[in-house]
C-alpha cells in the first residue's frame, strides 16, 4: 500500500499498532507485544484488583490545539489520579484511541512519546489497546488496573465527624489555565500564564502520597470535578457535613494574580485539579505531615467534618457561609 499522506489513515491499522503502540508495550510480557487479542496480568498476593476507566475527549477534556504529548499524558494521568486517590498502585493500562481523519502520523508519534515518558515515570505498562477511526472527535479511553492491599481501599464513604479535611497541592489552577487558553481571561506574566496552562494540560496525580494515605485517611476522592463538587460526593457517600474555611484553601500565586480576591471562590468550583481531598482523624496529623514530607507533596488542612445533614459549607474568615455560584464542572 502506497504511503500517500501524513495521516494514520494511509497506514494500515496493524502498521499503526506495530510501529506506534507495540513499542510502548515492550517489557511487559503479558501484553504479548500487542500481537494477541488480550493481555494477561498475574494477580498479586494479598491484594485486590482496582479498575478505573476514563475517557479524554477533544473539545471536552482538552482543546484541539493542545500538544499531542500533553493530550496523551493527561489521558493517562486522569485515570492514574483515581487509582492514587484510592490508596492503590497502578500496574498497567489499556488504551482505546478513536482517530478522526484529521490526525497526522506526526501527531500520533508525539502522542506516543508522551505516553512513553509517563509510563516510565509512573511505572505502568501498556497492556493492550485498539485504534479505530471515528467520524467524530478524537477520543482516548484509558482503563487502568492496579492493586490495593486487601481491604485497604480508600473509599468515599468513610468520613467521620471530628475528622479534619485536607487537600493536596493547590486548587483552581487547571480551570484558570483553561480560561486562559479559551481567552476568557488574560495574564500579562507569561511565565505565570504558562504554569496555569500546564496545570490544565498535564495534571500531577499524587501517586506516592495516595499510597501513604492507606490506613491513615478515613475517606478520599480525587478532585476532578472541582473541590466542592467532589467533597459533595464524599459527604453524600459518608452521610456527614463538611465545613471548609475558604481562607485556608491552598491557592497558587499565579491564581491569585489572575483572579485577585475572587481566587478562592473560583478555585473551589473549578475542575481538572487531580489533587486528593481526604478526611482523617485529628490524631493523624503527624502521620500526614510525615507522608507529605516523605513524598514531597504539599498538603493543607482546609476544614472539618461535623455531624449534620450531608452537605458542604464554605465559610469566610468571619465564619459566615458563602453562597457558591456553581459547585464545579459537570459534563451534562
Residue in 28, 52, 228, 268 binding its own copies, rule: CB under 8 A = 52
Q: Rounded to the nearest whole angstrom, what is the least distance from the CB of residue 311 to its own copies in the complex?
A: 15
Residue in 59, 215, 298, 311 binding its own copies, rule: CB under 8 A = 59
Q: Rounded to the nearest whole angstrom, what is the least distance from the CB of residue 221 to its own copies in the complex?
A: 6
Position 123 contacts its own copies (CB under 8 A): no
Residue in 5, 27, 29, 36 binding its own copies, rule: CB under 8 A = 36
- Which burial class, exposed, middle or buried, applies to 329 when counting CB atoms under 10 A from its CB (0-12, 13-18, 19+)? middle
Q: Which of residues 270-299 bind its own copies (CB under 8 A)?
A: none
Position 37 contacts its own copies (CB under 8 A): yes
Residue in 69, 118, 222, 272 binding its own copies, rule: CB under 8 A = 222
For residue 153, give the C-alpha cell. Answer: 481501599
For residues 7 and 202, give the distance between their C-alpha atoms in angstroms, rounded to a whole number. Answer: 25
List all residues 6 or more positions away from 26 whose beta carbon is below 8 Å from its beta carbon.
33
Residue in 73, 74, 86, 193 binding its own copies, rule: CB under 8 A = 86
Residue in 19, 22, 23, 41 binding its own copies, rule: CB under 8 A = 41
User: Hey, is 310 helix, strand or coil?
Assistant: coil
Residue in 20, 25, 34, 88 binding its own copies, rule: CB under 8 A = 88
CA dihedral over 101, 103, 106, 108, signed as positive or negative: negative
Interface region with its own copies, contact rule CB under 8 A, candidates 92-100, 168-176, 193-201, 305-313 = 92-100
- Which burial class, exposed, middle or buried, applies to 227 when counting CB atoms under 10 A from its CB (0-12, 13-18, 19+)? buried
For residues 227 and 205, give the distance between their C-alpha atoms in angstroms, rounded to a whole number. Answer: 15
Query: In this complex, which beta carbon is closest to its own copies, that of residue 61 or of residue 164?
Result: 61
Position 21 contacts its own copies (CB under 8 A): no
The residues facing 165 across adjacent strands are: 279, 303
User: Hey, is 252 helix, strand or coil?
Assistant: coil
Contact 80, 207 (CB under 8 A): yes
Which position has the grid cell 485486590?
Answer: 48
Residue in 68, 114, 129, 169 binding its own copies, rule: CB under 8 A = 129
Query: In this complex, which beta carbon is closest to its own copies, that of residue 85 or of residue 255?
Result: 85
For residue 22, give the C-alpha cell. Answer: 507495540
For residue 102, which phi and psi values (nearest 5 degrees)?
-75, -10
Q: H/E element holding 260?
A: none
Q: Which residues bind its own copies (CB under 8 A)?
A: 8-9, 11-13, 16, 30, 32, 35-44, 47-55, 57-60, 82-83, 85-86, 88, 92, 94-96, 98, 100, 127-137, 139, 141, 143, 145, 148, 150, 153, 155-157, 221-222, 233, 237, 330-332
Amino acid at each position: 500500500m502506497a504511503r500517500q499522506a501524513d495521516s494514520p489513515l494511509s497506514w494500515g491499522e496493524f502498521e499503526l499498532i506495530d510501529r506506534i503502540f507495540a513499542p510502548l508495550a515492550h517489557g511487559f510480557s503479558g501484553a504479548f507485544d500487542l500481537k494477541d487479542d488480550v493481555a494477561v496480568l498475574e494477580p498479586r498476593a494479598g491484594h485486590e484488583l482496582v479498575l478505573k476507566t476514563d475517557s479524554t475527549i477533544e473539545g471536552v477534556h482538552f482543546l484541539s490545539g493542545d500538544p499531542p504529548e500533553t493530550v496523551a499524558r493527561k489521558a493517562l494521568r486522569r485515570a492514574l489520579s483515581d487509582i492514587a486517590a484510592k490508596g492503590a498502585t497502578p500496574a498497567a493500562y489499556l488504551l482505546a484511541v478513536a482517530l478522526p481523519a484529521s490526525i497526522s502520523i506526526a501527531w500520533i508519534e508525539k502522542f506516543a512519546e508522551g505516553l512513553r515518558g509517563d509510563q516510565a515515570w509512573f511505572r505502568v505498562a501498556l497492556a493492550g489497546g485498539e485504534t479505530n477511526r471515528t467520524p467524530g472527535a478524537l477520543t482516548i479511553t484509558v482503563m487502568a488496573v492496579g492493586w490495593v492491599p486487601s481491604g485497604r481501599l480508600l473509599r468515599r464513604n468513610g468520613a467521620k465527624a471530628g475528622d479534619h479535611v485536607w487537600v493536596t497541592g493547590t486548587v483552581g489552577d487547571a480551570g484558570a489555565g483553561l480560561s486562559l487558553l479559551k481567552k476568557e481571561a488574560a495574564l500579562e506574566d507569561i511565565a505565570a500564564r504558562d504554569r496555569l496552562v500546564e496545570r490544565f494540560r498535564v495534571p500531577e496525580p499524587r501517586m506516592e502520597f495516595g499510597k501513604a494515605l492507606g490506613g491513615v485517611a478515613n475517606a478520599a476522592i480525587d478532585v476532578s470535578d472541582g473541590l466542592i463538587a467532589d467533597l459533595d460526593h464524599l459527604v453524600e457517600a459518608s452521610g456527614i457535613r463538611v465545613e471548609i474555611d475558604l481562607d485556608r484553601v491552598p491557592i497558587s500565586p499565579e491564581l491569585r494574580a489572575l483572579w485577585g480576591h475572587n481566587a478562592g471562590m473560583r478555585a473551589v468550583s473549578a475542575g481538572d485539579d487531580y489533587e486528593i481531598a481526604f478526611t482523617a482523624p485529628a490524631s493523624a496529623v503527624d502521620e500526614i505531615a510525615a507522608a507529605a514530607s516523605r513524598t514531597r507533596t504539599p498538603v493543607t488542612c482546609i476544614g472539618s467534618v461535623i455531624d449534620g445533614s450531608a452537605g458542604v459549607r464554605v465559610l469566610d474568615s468571619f465564619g459566615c457561609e458563602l453562597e457558591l455560584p456553581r459547585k464545579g464542572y459537570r459534563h451534562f
